[in-house]
Amino acid sequence: MIKIPARVLIVDDEKDFVEMFSLRLQAQGEKVSTAHSGKEALMVLSQAIIDVVILDIRMPGMDGIDTLKQIKTLYPIVEVILLTGHGSTETAVEGMKLGAFDYLMKPADFEDIKIKLENARKRKDEQEERIRQAELRLLLRRSGDL
- Closest listed residue to residue 51, CA positions, set 66, 71, 69: 71
pLDDT in tens, 50-92: 999 999 998 898 999 999 999 999 999 999 999 887 667 778 8
Phi-psi region of 100 (alpha: psi -120 to 50; beta: other; left: phi over 0): beta
- Structural domains of the chain sorted by starting position, each given as residue range(s) with its CATH number in brackets: 7-143 (3.40.50.2300)
pTM of the shown model: 0.88
pLDDT score of 140 more than 90: no
